[in-house]
Structure 1
Amino acid sequence: MIINTELEYKGNLYPSRIIDFKKEVDSAFFYTDNDVILKITIVRDSLLRFRYTTKGYFSPDFSYAIDENHSRGYNHFEVVEEPDFYHVKTSKLDCHVSKADLRTAIFDLKGNAVLEDELGFHWEEIYEYGGNIVKMSKVSKDGENFYGLGDKATHLNLKGKRLENWATDQYAYHKDQEPLYKAVPFYIGLNGKDAYGIFFDNTFRSFFDFCHERRNVSSFWADGGEMNYYFFYGPSMHDVVAAYTDLTGKPELPPLWALGYHQCKWSYYPESKVKEITSRFRELRIPCDAIYLDIDYMEGFRCFTWNKNFFPDPKRMVAELAEDGFKTIVIIDPGIKIDKDYWVYNEGIANDYFCKRADGPYMKGKVWPGECNFPDYTNPAVREWWAGLFKELVGDIGVKGVWNDMNEPAVMEVPTKTFPLDVRHDYDGHPCSHRKAHNIYGTQMARATYEGVKRFSYPKRPFIITRSAYSGAQRYTSSWTGDNVATWEHLWIANVQVQRMSLSGMGFTGSDIGGFAEQPTGELYARWIQLGVFHPFCRTHSSGHHGEQEPWAFDDEVINVTRKFIELRYQLLPYLYTMFWQYIDESIPMLKPLVYFDQEDPQTHYRTDEFIFGNHILVCPILEPNAVGRRMYVPRGSWYNYWNNEIVQGGRESWIDVAFDQIPLFVKAGAVIPKYPVQQYVGELEFDELTLDVYYKEGKEESKVFEDAQDGYDYTKGRYSLRTFTTAGKGKELVLHQHKEGKFITPYNYFKINLIGLPFKVTAVEVDNEEVSLEELKFNIHNTLTVNKDFSELHIKGI
């Protein structure tokens, strides 16, 4: 380590020498003679928290991001003193703390440096704010790469970038524009084949520099607050992402219908227009589960009201839509119109629930209704009030989901696009200014909305979607990538953003299919649908100001492509639902960039386009017009082309031909892919068999299928069905083993098994060690057979 003896350099201040240390149950404290304290907490053996103060004491410890149910506990923790530094040791890491200047270096147990401070912690006194800018810089090794940070509209690999976290209403943003709607201060570093992660839990405006300013230095800093970050040790990206996702929390399972296709526009009104849209979906046999009402459903854009000219009887309309399989989702913004005849406004004033300026008056800003006040969602009493406001919408009228928009928070007609920074917030009993609360505002609104919708939806599950978010928002809400544009560049951006959000703990995310601003061509819309159906949240949305953007706004070819791919999504719903369960149960991201899927292959480190959907499906969207194919990288292993079942050996870049009604789509050899029959909406059909596409592989592969009642909370009481399938191919034999868990009885009785890629002709099948005639199994020339769902082992033999 380089020892820095100067306490001030270029306006920055630094810790001086350590004069004392103490060890508590799970933490080590290091004290310097210029009043800096470093507290290192062992959260887990591979998860360390670093917390610094420059004033000789710590402020109360509070974070909205950390899930109170996160995993804790370690096997080993000791502090050992050396002449020049202290060892802070766990069973997986050895952190050195320099006695001269408090710099740290983290090593694995083999003595390899994982992450070292460069200047380390330093700070700058900013008297304009009456406080500090807190800074941290790390040594970046040659060849190191960086990933994460939420919805950034830039290359998946952040090497060479400088990025900003300040939630901003960024209408029609472009590639590389900063900042955007979300603040997710978590990144993954990949050194060669070893990964680590950093979560900088600071809600002030923050910045990250990945070797942009200085070649071998990565750094992060914030305009206030503490230098407070968590270090996650891999060495696999899976370990890092899983640990971060566990720390900041996971959602409950969504209702299955929420994973269907959604249709939205600014705006569908009056009621006759809404019915026209929903009827057209059913007429064209394009599956759809949800219809959205944007701000025009309200009376003068007043939240929790209805325009009775457009919607004379909302309860009847919502019930009629539900009979046809459509769930109604409505928008709710934070701005409450200043209007003494408006009940929500009057309740907010009477109870002092709105945000105030520093000198006392309520903060006033213009949004859609005109002049508004804004609830302080960082106040628990305000969240409780806000939750109660959903009684009529959800409990009485029957709305199934709520869409939170404009919650960065966005304010019109001011250069900053948001609140004045002197606005005061309760911050759950830790009063602060908007400088600290800004990035968390949208998450706390979504939290209050979630609590309300859940209360009045019960015993069904809630569905919430938000535009703005901070780390941890995934506990309450899904999200989308904001007001994008109908361009090919934005199709590329959407692909990268949703992969990055999945890596950043917020898996339930999608983009506005087709682009929000401007009007897509039929070709662009079709290509966007082909990508969007492989995003966890799948919704077409447009501003509607440049024309129509429903599938039938384009020609028959586009309608047919749209139907084909939405039908494919509905077939894959059990696969997608299983992905979601694994995200919740095991913290596994639903979409996996190739670098996550195989970090040891350096060819994956700069790939942006291809991703793994779940565990076994490789997706590569078409991102250019007039394409008859594209070059793509197929990761190592054996893969089946989904469209023709031809097998491809990965580990190299290949040219793939595609038709207009296809994109490159591959299935991992050995996979078992569950499929439902095509439905127009979730729950439309009863069926007596589940299709399993079984792809042959020499060797073993494991697949899972999770099912439950598709809504409600019985799954938390063990009423779920988890089937683990193991395929084992060897020469002229294929063994399919099934292990069953859970108390839920699936409504179907049979599996229809499609055997794909068999290198032999089937001559005999044993079911649980007893040979069963091929005729009884309805075996046919397409290598399809039907078997009771409760088998334990299928042994397929051939010549």
Structure 2
Amino acid sequence: MRTIDESHFYTRDMKPLARPEAIVQGDTYRFTVLTSRLIRLEYAADGQFEDRPTQTVWYRDFPVPSYRIVEDETELQIITEHVHLHYTKGPFASNTLYIDVLGNFSTYYSRYTYGGPLRTLKGTARTLDHADGEIPLEEGIISRQGYAAIDDSASFVLTEDHFVEPRQEGAQDIYYFGYGHDYKQALKDFYRLTGPTPMLPRQVLGNWWSRYWRYNEKEYKDLMTRFKTEDVPFSVSVIDMDWHVTDIPEKYGSGWTGYTWNRDLFPDPKGFLQWLKDDDRMVTLNLHPADGVRGFEEAYEAMAVAMGVDPDTEDRIPFDFSDRDFIENYFTKLHHPHEADGVDFWWIDWQQGANSKMKGLDPLWMLNHYHALDIARDGNRPLIFSRYAGPGSHRYPVGFSGDTLISWASLKFQPYFTATASNIGYGWWSHDIGGHQRGEKDDELSTRWLQYGVFSPIMRLHSTMSIFNGKEPWRYSVESEQVMKKYLRLRHQLVPYIYTMNARNHFDGLPLVSPMYYEHPEDELAYAVPNQYYFGTELMVTPIVEPMNPKLHVAATTAWLPEGEWFDFFTGHRYSGGKQMRLFRKLDDQGVLAKAGAIVPLGQHLEHSNALHNPDHLELLVFPGASNQFTLFEDDNVGVAHRDGENVETSFELDWAARTLTIATPFGKRELLPEKREVTLILRGVNEGHVSRDGEVLPSRYDHQTQSLSVELGEIGETQVLSLQVDMSTNDNRMERLYTFLDQAEIGYDLKDRLYRLLSQRLDPVNMMHQLQALDLEKDLVDCLLEIMLF
């Protein structure tokens, strides 16, 4: 398997051997103390234990923690700082092996018993195919009980020549996680055990255009040109299955599998791919590989000869990823020629189950693993687009969640589904944003789904083959169209921030999207908002997933605001935390909040451009109220990601007490940055004021509607310290917000006047709530008025 061996950097650093001093071993058992909270549990009746990497676990070389052993002829105890293992020697069973988490961290019972049930906060699932709302999820490694376990007993091992073989039957191999409520450390050690998530290329973090549609070259180019003309950026082109020949003679079977361009639709494939790439897009093509290689394919003869099949017979060459020769030729004969023409990565649309010729071997895992290895063969970043295939799948981003049904129930489930996947380290789910099939046209649903997509890991619009079902913004109402375009542009502006979180995920083991309980594990309310999540280090999202009130023209989301000050990302409205409340948003707003002191680097919008390079012009969005530091990560976007001067980092430090913002000199390879970079500072959520540099007040403009002070800083080269003569907003625009809300609400004019007069009195909260309740108003109206005037 020459090609796979040459894709060295992705696997060369595997360290499957644990350090000898971490091992406690008997004739039939072996325990490996990887950390004070992570222990490998093995039992083998013949005393043969496995030291090779597996499908899930690649690294066991951890620094050995302090531990002590208490042992006699029949019993063994292993005690670390955090856990206490009890083992009665003999086969593993519920009455012979248990582990306690030490410390009074929870009211939950924290004893792991071998074979006992696990009650984790869940992980993820293989696919959302055919799901209309909630589906069952697999277990993760995060649990309020304080422990979890991964059973690796059935996992195949990786051989020295980069192939796989079955494990010894009957052996038990389990990894116990006893991390209490230190969820983030559990996740970091899980990544250390199984391998990091690769850095994604920058373009992948922009907008993807995908549609199951029989495009021809002219139609596709015309569509891309119209997107560009209408200033709607897309950085990835997903070409569904009709790129290849699908209308084939009946003797060959189905047309779902194919590797030959349909030249009736695409007469010049190489030129077409180059056209897309010249316009700053990556390209991925759809694969359904299950039917193997058949006689009509252009590559059939070369594949047949390589596989020892007489080409004149036109015998089908079966898809078989348990065959080393097939894997080698599958890539070199079927895929590499297309990649040489400009295909960047592959959409592995595997829907054929989990069985293969090698008993217990999941062909989806094999496809994911070897495609990632192969695409990385020349030093590229491993990149595929495929369904989830079990723990360790985070090494093969990006995840394709399947054919989503179009419904509010589907949208409502996706934020929870995506955030919870972080509990098994799977941080880059890509959904069919807007839904794939069935359902009905609903402009509001499509708009809300797109807004969620902008604040999800991967923003990919998609729809099925219907002349009526497309995600082009101009297919919707004028209002929806304008909102969709606004948010698609915003996604590209967010890329500097998201790319920094991409690096954080790769280097530090913390996904872009995480559940609220990661940061607030002891707060009960953190578990009561399953759809709410952190989006990187600075932002919190509580997406709108239900229809708006038809009379009030706003939709609600229930949000929990942790202690501290929080600001609406778009309007700068300030909220005091420590409460759960309902937030109301018009169609053009989404539930996105910035923490006090948040620093969010944005790329300035580039009109009529798909480019996502390290930006020439940064918009530095800063929120008041607390000190904070943010370091922007940038690199050359190719090959293995590095730190320590091989990239370039720019630090921004807000000292709120001193009212200063320091923009540091970029550190590292400054040649990776544009020759000249300008910065616009936007202070959002502040009252009017000014910014000075070296004693000079800088020109600025204040936007009352968004409570934002904008300052053009010009070209930034060396360290600068800015003096901020501003204070946190006191929400002085409440009456304007009230007027705007009442003006568009479809309620009686007399009631509008009465409410406006009443609330203009600025009553104390108790009196205000009492008088509103006395009017016998609907709950949404009361809650919305309270949000505007009190919170």
What TM bracket, shorter-length normalisation?
Answer: 0.7 to 0.9
- Residue aligning to 1:743: 669
- Residue aligning to 2:5: none
- Residue aligning to 1:16: none
Task: Give the whole-Å Cα distance in 2 for the aligned partners of 1:224 and 1:555.
Answer: 60
The match for 1:137 among 116, 123, 126 is: 116
- Residue aligning to 1:18: none
Task: Give the whole-Å Cα distance in 2 for the aligned partners of 1:198 and 1:591.
Answer: 23
- Compute the displacement of 1:716 (Å): 6.3
- Residue aligning to 1:86: 76
The match for 2:47 among 52, 57, 81 is: 57
Task: Give the whole-Å Cα distance in 2 for the aligned partners of 1:175 and 1:688.
Answer: 42
The match for 2:361 among 412, 437, 443 is: 437
Corresponding position: 1:42 with 2:16: no
Task: Give the whole-Å Cα distance in 1 for the aligned partners of 2:155 and 2:470.
Answer: 38
- Residue aligning to 1:644: 571
After TM superposition, the structure 1 = structure 2 runs for residues 489-504 of structure 1, keeping only pairs within 5 Å, are: 489-504=409-424
- Residue aligning to 1:72: 62
RMSD over aligned CA atoms reads 3.5
Q: Is the 8 A contact 2:131 2:404 kept in 1?
A: yes
- Residue aligning to 2:282: 327
- Compute the displacement of 1:319 (Å): 1.3
- Residue aligning to 1:260: 206
Relative distance call for 1:508 and 1:681 in structure 2 (3 A) is farther
- Residue aligning to 1:34: none
Task: Give the whole-Å Cα distance in 2 for the aligned partners of 1:102 and 1:494.
Answer: 41
Corresponding position: 1:481 with 2:401: yes
- Residue aligning to 1:694: 622
Q: Which moved more, 1:465-474 or 1:733-742?
A: 733-742
The match for 1:316 among 267, 271, 277 is: 271
- Residue aligning to 1:453: 375
- Residue aligning to 2:23: 27
Relative distance call for 1:619 and 1:353 in structure 2 (3 A) is farther
User: SS in structure 2 opposite 1:68?
Assistant: coil
- Residue aligning to 1:583: 505
> What is the letter of the counterpart of residue 144 of structure 2?
L
Q: Is the 8 A contact 1:77 1:88 kept in 2?
A: yes
Corresponding position: 1:105 with 2:99: yes
> What is the letter of the counterpart of residue 253 of structure 1?
M
Corresponding position: 1:280 with 2:254: no
Task: Give the whole-Å Cα distance in 1 for the aligned partners of 2:501 and 2:212.
Answer: 31
- Compute the displacement of 1:394 (Å): 4.2
Task: Give the whole-Å Cα distance in 1 for the aligned partners of 2:327 and 2:37.
Answer: 35
> What is the letter of the counterpart of residue 635 of structure 1?
P
Q: Is the 8 A contact 1:269 1:296 kept in 2?
A: yes
The match for 1:399 among 317, 338, 343 is: 343
Q: Which moved more, 1:72-81 or 1:645-654?
A: 72-81
User: SS in structure 1 opposite 2:211?
Assistant: coil
Task: Give the whole-Å Cα distance in 1 for the aligned partners of 2:422 and 2:717.
Answer: 33
User: SS in structure 2 opposite 1:105?
Assistant: strand
Task: Give the whole-Å Cα distance in 2 for the aligned partners of 1:277 and 1:780.
Answer: 38
- Residue aligning to 2:328: 384
Corresponding position: 1:243 with 2:193: no
Q: Is the 8 A contact 1:304 1:393 kept in 2?
A: no
User: SS in structure 2 opposite 1:512?
Assistant: coil
State the percentage of identical aligned residues.
20
Q: Is the 8 A contact 1:106 1:115 kept in 2?
A: no
> What is the letter of the counterpart of residue 76 of structure 1?
S
CA-to-partner distance for each residue in 1:424-459, whole Å, 9 max, x for gaps? 32xxxxxxx1xx212xx212212222233333xx56
- Compute the displacement of 1:72 (Å): 1.1
- Compute the displacement of 1:655 (Å): 2.0
How many residue pairs were aligned? 664
CA-to-partner distance for each residue in 1:28-54, whole Å, 9 max, x for gaps? 2356xxxxx33211122332111233x
- Residue aligning to 2:143: 189
The match for 1:511 among 431, 438, 446 is: 431
User: SS in structure 1 opposite 2:228?
Assistant: helix
Q: Is the 8 A contact 2:665 2:718 kept in 1?
A: no
Task: Give the whole-Å Cα distance in 2 for the aligned partners of 1:743 and 1:28.
Answer: 46
Q: Is the 8 A contact 2:434 2:471 kept in 1?
A: no
Relative distance call for 1:340 and 1:682 in structure 2 (3 A) is closer
- Residue aligning to 1:128: none
- Structure 1 residues without counterparts, runs of 5 or longer: 1-22, 32-36, 122-135, 152-166, 206-221, 355-368, 412-416, 426-432
- Residue aligning to 1:602: 524
- Compute the displacement of 1:225 (Å): 5.8
Q: Is the 8 A contact 2:599 2:630 kept in 1?
A: yes
Q: Is the 8 A contact 2:34 2:64 kept in 1?
A: yes
Q: Is the 8 A contact 1:271 1:317 kept in 2?
A: yes
> What is the letter of the counterpart of residue 506 of structure 1?
Y
The match for 1:791 among 706, 712, 719 is: 719
- Residue aligning to 2:706: none
User: SS in structure 2 opposite 1:190?
Assistant: coil
Relative distance call for 1:723 and 1:234 in structure 2 (3 A) is farther
The match for 1:554 among 476, 482, 489 is: 476
Relative distance call for 1:370 and 1:199 in structure 2 (3 A) is farther
- Residue aligning to 1:200: 151
- Compute the displacement of 1:404 (Å): 0.5
- Compute the displacement of 1:187 (Å): 3.0
- Residue aligning to 1:672: 599
- Compute the displacement of 1:310 (Å): 1.3
- Compute the displacement of 1:754 (Å): 1.8
Q: Is the 8 A contact 1:618 1:668 kept in 2?
A: yes
User: SS in structure 2 opposite 1:557?
Assistant: helix
CA-to-partner distance for each residue in 1:338-377, whole Å, 9 max, x for gaps? 63454656666666699xxxxxxxxxxxxxx99872221x
Q: Is the 8 A contact 1:514 1:520 kept in 2?
A: no
Q: Is the 8 A contact 1:709 1:720 kept in 2?
A: yes
Task: Give the whole-Å Cα distance in 2 for the aligned partners of 1:250 and 1:786.
Answer: 38
- Compute the displacement of 1:185 (Å): 5.3
User: SS in structure 2 opposite 1:188?
Assistant: coil
Corresponding position: 1:756 with 2:750: no
- Compute the displacement of 1:512 (Å): 0.3
Q: Is the 8 A contact 1:256 1:682 kept in 2?
A: no
Q: Is the 8 A contact 2:121 2:143 kept in 1?
A: yes
Q: Which moved more, 1:103-112 or 1:518-527?
A: 103-112
Relative distance call for 1:656 and 1:468 in structure 2 (3 A) is closer
> What is the letter of the counterpart of residue 230 of structure 1?
Y
Q: Is the 8 A contact 2:299 2:334 kept in 1?
A: no
Q: Is the 8 A contact 1:43 1:74 kept in 2?
A: yes
Q: Is the 8 A contact 1:474 1:505 kept in 2?
A: yes
Q: Is the 8 A contact 2:108 2:144 kept in 1?
A: no
- Residue aligning to 1:209: none
CA-to-partner distance for each residue in 1:554-607, whole Å, 9 max, x for gaps? 222221111111111111110000111000010011101112231121111132
Relative distance call for 1:177 and 1:255 in structure 2 (3 A) is closer
- Residue aligning to 1:20: none
- Residue aligning to 1:229: 174
Corresponding position: 1:147 with 2:70: no
User: SS in structure 2 opposite 1:437?
Assistant: coil
Task: Give the whole-Å Cα distance in 2 for the aligned partners of 1:71 and 1:583.
Answer: 21
Task: Give the whole-Å Cα distance in 2 for the aligned partners of 1:277 and 1:224.
Answer: 55
- Structure 2 residues without counterparts, runs of 5 or longer: 1-18, 157-166, 247-254, 703-708, 728-791
- Compute the displacement of 1:150 (Å): 1.5
- Residue aligning to 1:95: 85
Task: Give the whole-Å Cα distance in 2 for the aligned partners of 1:750 and 1:595.
Answer: 38
Q: Is the 8 A contact 1:632 1:656 kept in 2?
A: yes
Q: Is the 8 A contact 2:239 2:284 kept in 1?
A: yes
